[in-house]
Amino acid sequence: MNKKLIISLLAFSFILFNGCKKNPVVPAAALPAPLAAPSYPLSVVFEDCEDNDNVDNFGGFWFTYDDTKAPNFGKSVVYPRNGALYTMARVGPDWDSVHYGPNIYAAEMTGTVYEWKKPYVAFIGEGIQMGPTENPTNLYNFTGMSFWAKVGPTDQIHTAGPYRIALKTPITINPDMTLYDYYGYTFTPSTTWTQYNVTFASDFVLAFSATPPPQYQPGGSIGGGEPQYRIDSMKNVTDIQIQTDNPIPQTPDPTVSFNVDFWIDNIVLYRN
């Protein structure tokens, strides 16, 4: 075999193998290390979805939930499915990239909420953990949170009632952390991408409490002019959750349902 032929064969096999090369599978251990929340950052991008995975920048996972479990036993349906891998959606051409920069991926939750029997609320929701193990994280040094949201044209919840974004916090006097409070902000997104900017101290209110602890005095103030209970909660956040918040009708009809198509993106924690 002459030299020229050998060189040609080598060149051909190089092209052949490189041309067929598949994208490498990235093992979990090689994923970038989660960002630790610094004590006094000006702002931290918690999740912009652009890496197209089911993990936020603190290393927590995206998940969905619904009303099918005890005590609600509803029949609402959520996608991505409760318990399944959360996959991101492609942002459509309705994103104003001229003014707000390029954007490829966002989180989209779809599904159907069925009215169910009182007093149980019918709902679907999604959440993002503060860290890989849902360890309580201190958000008290942050002033608030900004995010972008919209609903798709088939969404019916925004006409029936708002959505709620909430911080899930274990009830601080409950040592086994099996009960949670939800400090939340309710809003009614339109079909146009809109940026929301909400401060924890004034816009977030105690939306739902599993069992209000006895020492909690609404409007009361301990220490720095703010209820100690809120301070304790803000120092122990396990998840951000977004949930449908349609009111329960006087006479719920289990055959009545609402379509959900909710989008969220670019969640930033900031301090002023």
Q: How far apart are CB 216 and Ca ion at their closest, in Å? A: 35
Q: Which is nearer to Ca ion, 103 or 110 (CB)?
A: 103
Q: Which is nearer to Ca ion, 67 or 239 (CB)?
A: 239
Residue ranges binding Ca ion (CB under 5 A): 48-51, 53, 103, 105-106, 265
Contact 116, 210 (CB under 8 A): no
Distance CA 262, CA 62 (A): 15
Q: Which is nearer to Ca ion, 91 or 206 (CB)?
A: 91
Q: Which is nearer to Ca ion, 53 or 203 (CB)?
A: 53
Whole-angstrom Cα Rg for the chain: 23
Contact 90, 104 (CB under 8 A): yes
Q: How far apart are CB 207 and Ca ion at their closest, in Å? A: 26
Tokens of 174: 């409950």
Q: How far apart are CB 175 and Ca ion at their closest, in Å? A: 33
Burial of 148 (0-12, 13-18, 19+ CB in 10 A): buried
DSSP 137: B
Q: Which is nearer to Ca ion, 121 or 242 (CB)?
A: 242
Q: Which is nearer to Ca ion, 46 or 183 (CB)?
A: 46
Q: How far apart are CB 41 and Ca ion at their closest, in Å? A: 18
Q: How far apart are CB 134 and Ca ion at their closest, in Å? A: 17
Most distant pair of Cα atoms in the chain: their distance: 91
End-to-end Cα distance, the chain: 73
Burial 258-270 (b: 16+ CB within 10 A, else e): bebbbbbbbbbbb
Distance CA 237, CA 231 (A): 11
Q: How far apart are CB 65 and Ca ion at their closest, in Å? A: 19
